[in-house]
Amino acid sequence: MARFLNILFGVVFILFGIYMWNNPTETFVTYSFYLGLLYVIWTIITIFYIFRKKIRPVPYGNIIVSIIISITILVLPMFSVAIVLWTFIIIFLISAIYYLRNVIKNGLKSHLLQFIL
């Protein structure tokens, strides 16, 4: 189940990234509130699902990254686009470091796939 959730989070990140890549200015300025709320709701539903089904190991890294991204999107109109883009870059680098550490420590192939993505 943890592998399924990791793949699901990865698909959401990829789809969200493709959507933002195709129309970044329109997405950031117009839909920041709606996308932020959608991301917050998605994260809360995922957290409840993880704890209800008692999934181990809990993907804390994915949850923290999702919360940071949703808060960033919600407060987006207050920041410039450059600050937001650097925030995303830093978040994804931290996530990549986390997965690389897990690959080195535990040898999990699913984490290696997420690190490569």
Domain ranges of the chain: 2-116
The CB density around residue 99, as the number of other CB atoms within 10 Å, is 22
Indicate the pLDDT class of residue 94, thresholds 50, 70 and 90: confident
Query: Has this prediction a pTM greater than 0.85?
Result: no
**27-54 confidence digits (pLDDT tens):** 555 666 677 777 778 778 888 888 888 8
Rounded Cα distance between 30 and 74, Å, is: 11
* Digit-coded pLDDT (tens) for 49-91: 888 888 777 777 777 877 787 777 777 666 666 676 777 778 7
